[in-house]
Amino acid sequence: MLIDSHCHLDFAAYKDDVVDVISRARQAGVKMINIGTKQSTSQTALAQAKQYPEDIWAVIGVHPIHLVDDIEEKSDFGADGGYTFTTKKEVFDEDFYRQLATDEKVVGFGETGLDYYHLPKGQTVPAVKAIQEKVFRAFIGLALETDKALVMHCRGSKKNPNDAYDDMIAILREEKEKRGGLPRGVIHCFGGTLAHAQAFTALGFCIGFTGIITFKNAESLRDVACALPLEKILIETDAPFLAPDPQRGKRNEPAYVALVAEKIAEIRGLPLSTVAETTTATAKTVFKIS
């Protein structure tokens, strides 16, 4: 069994065939952590988890890019290299997420965090950071309050890919000091340095690797995956995005998480069964699932 620790079955990319996508994951022995990014997708993620209770669990939250003005984004899959879509701004409602989290199928909050890469026109990193940091700190509190996992998104600016990682580590250290501890959690779709990864694991978090690890130009990321303790690694797809080779450029789906596990096994010189067993056990611990 494998656990895709981060996918978005609630996205419109699956509106016509989500049943088939879930069926293929089930046939591949893949369980799924279904991630919300705003109120509507969080509700859908939970509904899907309740519909498929043996296969799916839900994480609910607000992606940091939904906290700022609308942003035009481009997918990495689809005809002619992708399609454009526009994110929609949402006002954070803490009580909404606290109430939704009372359902036992909700196993975490997220994805939450910092994103300095996607900036609305006319806005600067400091302006974006102010609102994103406030909501991120609130979700840290909610995760501690409810004993649920924290799923974190972190992406640096185009000028400095490390700035958001540096800020997130500083925030987490402050919150640990202030609150006397931190929740369980994972830095999803990791793209920082080994030093960043080690700082996060020292704080008790796991590191999530996606299909990016299979890309030809991701040697530095593979080095990070080799250096970390295996029990600190989670595997994920971030589906429908970031399909691993040889599916790159196509819509991603949870069944492809096996390709991420295979790459980690290959670069670490381990049997696939060892990677599968260890990452599955870690996911069960982080999300408190069985």
DSSP string, 135-163: HHHHHHHHHHHHT-EEEEEEE--SS-TTH
CB atoms within 10 A of CB 266: 13
Identify the CATH number of the domain in which residue 257 sits: 3.20.20.140
Rounded to whole angstroms, the Cα distance separating 63 from 42 reads: 11
The confidence score (pLDDT) of residue 139 equals: 98
Q: Which tens digit of pLDDT belongs to each residue from 35-67?
A: 999 999 999 999 999 999 999 999 999 999 999
For the chain, what is the largest distance between any 2 Cα atoms, rounded to a whole number of angstroms? 50
Hey, is 169 helix, strand or coil?
A: helix
The confidence score (pLDDT) of residue 69 equals: 81
pTM of the model: 0.96
Q: Are strands 84-86 and 106-115 parallel, antiparallel or unpaired?
A: unpaired
Tokens read off for 117: 């890469």
Domain count for the chain: 1
- How many CA atoms lie less than 13 Å away from 102 in the CB half-sphere? 5
Rounded to whole angstroms, the Cα distance separating 61 from 183 reads: 15
Query: Using N-to-C axis directions, what is the helix angle for 219-227 and 257-268, rounded to 10°?
Result: 70
Rounded to whole angstroms, the Cα distance separating 263 from 214 reads: 6
The confidence score (pLDDT) of residue 86 equals: 85
Containing domain of residue 239, as a range?
2-287
Q: Which tens digit of pLDDT belongs to each residue from 80-134?
A: 777 787 888 999 999 999 999 999 999 999 999 999 999 988 889 999 999 999 9
Contact 253, 241 (CB under 8 A): no
Alpha-carbon radius of gyration of the chain? 17
Q: Which tens digit of pLDDT belongs to each residue from 205-262?
A: 999 999 999 999 999 999 999 999 999 999 999 999 999 999 999 999 999 999 999 9
